[in-house]
Amino acid sequence: MTVILAGIAAFVAAVIQRVTGLGFVLVLVGPIVLLYGPVEGITIAVLLALVASLVAIPLVWKRIDWRRTWWLVWPGLLAAPFGVLVVRLLPEAALLLVIAAMAYFALVAGHLPVLSASLSGRPGAIVAGSAAGFMNAASGLGGPPLAAYAVGDRWAQVRFAASAQVIFVALDVASIALRGLPLTPWEDVGALVLATVAGIAIGSILARNISPRIARIAMLVIAWAGATVVLIRGILALFL
């Protein structure tokens, strides 16, 4: 039953990722953490996010902005070890609260004009890339700093969404190398990978007929609910 529920969550997250360009881990983080715990759950989420981005890259290859991508990738790779250090030092209850806090930040970051305005040019890229690398390694949620930078630097959404897939691949590979592979049986992980690939495939079809706005609303509803449940679980874990 755990694999089935996780597979459904991965499929929905992949569909939303393909339609909107972002949001895979943001949608997945609540269910996957509840099903597998804050350490194993995020490790699985990062692996599935890597699969989702690898599948998406050929579909958006011509739109990738390689120069901007590079200036976001290398700071992220340098910051990733610090995110993993946080995971290893914190007890489970505290880690749940950190993941919930990062999820909430992910949900509101795009509505903070001051944050976006401060992130532009190469200095902004270095800051955003470093934050993305840290957050991705700690919680799988590396997208918000990148999105804030895209707004601040006036990066066209289509080119940013395409370039983000390459950035996610680099950060996800680094995170997996630092965190290690999932301990979950590989037949279960394989089933989740297939669900992710299927979601990307179906999302490619639905993207022609579903408004990105509708997909974004669905993403926000699921993500807010997931973050709240993780927060509640973290609070309960402090007293149990």
- The structure tokens 């590979």 sit at 173
Specify the pLDDT at position 111.
Answer: 64
| Residue 46 confidence (pLDDT) | 93
Q: Which contacts qualify for 105-109: CB closer than 8 Å, 24 or more apart? A: 105/141, 105/144, 106/26, 106/141, 106/143, 106/144, 106/223, 107/26, 107/220, 107/223, 107/224, 107/227, 109/144, 109/145, 109/147, 109/148
What pLDDT was estimated at residue 116?
A: 60
Q: Is 32 left (phi over 0), alpha (psi -120 to 50) or beta?
A: alpha
Q: How many domains does the chain have?
A: 1
What does each of the 240 residues of the chain score in pLDDT, given as a tens digit?
A: 889 999 999 999 898 888 776 778 888 888 898 899 888 999 999 999 999 889 888 888 888 999 999 999 999 999 999 999 988 998 888 888 888 888 887 777 666 666 666 667 788 888 889 988 998 998 888 887 887 788 777 888 788 888 989 999 999 999 999 999 999 999 999 999 999 999 988 888 877 777 767 767 777 777 787 778 788 888 888 876
CA-only gyration radius of the chain, Å: 16
What pTM did the predictor assign? 0.87
* 52 Cα distance to chain centroid: 10
Domain that residue 47 falls in: 2-239
Q: Tell me the H-state helices in the chain.
A: 2-20, 24-36, 38-60, 66-89, 92-108, 113-117, 121-139, 143-152, 157-179, 186-206, 212-239
